[in-house]
Amino acid sequence: MKEFVISQSPLPFSRLTAHGSPTKLFVILVRMQVIIISGLSGSGKSIALNVLEDSGYYCVDNLPASLLVVLINHLQMQQHTHIAVAIDMRSGENITVLPWQLKMIDKNIQIKIHLSGCAY
């Protein structure tokens, strides 16, 4: 029987099993990373999501800003560690809830926000 020890550092831990023999485990907690992409129509949000999806991110396009916390909590329970979300600026009053949604997200989750622009 192995005993698991979780640490935020990659240091080895020794614990005794039921048989008295030491077991060393290396456990690294991976911090969830969320990239939020926002911008006007035609600014390249979908292209950016395609690149991130090819890089292993779980991607969601055109998410209403009011569902951001629900999505992150759900994907965290599913043990996803890399998430990219596109939120359209045309969402009207929906986009005004984004700052409140960001405050509700767990402080251990790394958030990066990218505002796409379109140059004519």
pLDDT in tens, 29-54: 568 999 999 887 788 889 999 999 99
Higher pLDDT, 98 or 72: 72
Task: Quote the pLDDT of residue 57.
Answer: 96
Lowest mean pLDDT among 27-31, 67-71, 92-96, 111-115: 27-31
Residue 62, phi-psi category: left (phi > 0), alpha (psi -120 to 50), beta (remainder): left
Note the pLDDT tens digit of each residue in 106-119: 888 888 888 877 55
Residue type, 46: S
What is the band of 56 on the pLDDT scale with cuts at 50, 70, 90?
A: very high
Q: 113, 63 in Cβ contact below 8 A?
A: no
Task: Quote the pLDDT of residue 7.
Answer: 39
Give dist(CA 40, CA 52) in Å, integer.
19
Give dist(CA 118, CA 31) in Å, integer.
32
Distances (CA, A) of 28 to 4, 11, 39, 105: 12, 8, 35, 22
Q: What pTM was estimated for this model as a whole?
A: 0.69
Task: Quote the pLDDT of residue 81.
Answer: 93
Mean pLDDT calculated for residue range 86-107: 78
Look up residue 9 and give its two tokens: 């550092």
Higher pLDDT, 12 or 84: 84
Residues 6+ apart with CB under 8 A from 83: 32, 33, 34, 35, 57, 58, 59, 60, 71, 72, 75
